[in-house]
Homo-oligomer: A and B are copies of this chain.
Amino acid sequence: MLLYWVVKKIDAIPICKIEIIDLQKVSSAKEGLVDDEKNQSMARIFKLLGEPTRLKIILSLFDNELCVCDLAAVVESTVSAVSHQLRLLRNSRLVKFRKAGKMVYYSIEDAHIKQLIEQTKQHVEEN
């Protein structure tokens, strides 16, 4: 693990090796970053959408709530596997559920997510 960064030159003269080349750009880029906690939160959302089965689950819930069994049918997986994934999505408040007897109906909790996915769908379709 890297512990220290030493600034050797302030201008963009190509001298690197554990040192910084262009301090100004580095500083300015660092300011553009978000704090670590926020970065983790953002990454967590993206990661949840970044798994084909999970993405399918969310897409399946786009228009209608579904019970776990039907959800498994739609994404062509097992009830158990889907249930495990739903737990992750629930924990991060991307989906919510309502119980009706022994049935559990899942739906999308986070409206922002729809927008993210729609945008990415368009993006993919452009290529």
Contacts and interface: CB of A to CB of B under 8 A. Distances in A.
A22 B14 CA distance: 65
A39 B57 CA distance: 11
A50 B39 contact: no
A30 B121 contact: no
A117 interface: yes
Interface string A62-76: 111011011011101
A88 interface: no
Interface of A is mostly: helix
B2 A64 contact: no
A28 B51 CA distance: 22
B119 A74 contact: no
Contacts of A67: 16, 21-22
Contact of A73 (B14, B26, B56): B26
A84 interface: no
A5 B120 CA distance: 30
Interface in A1-20: 2, 5, 14, 16-17, 19-20
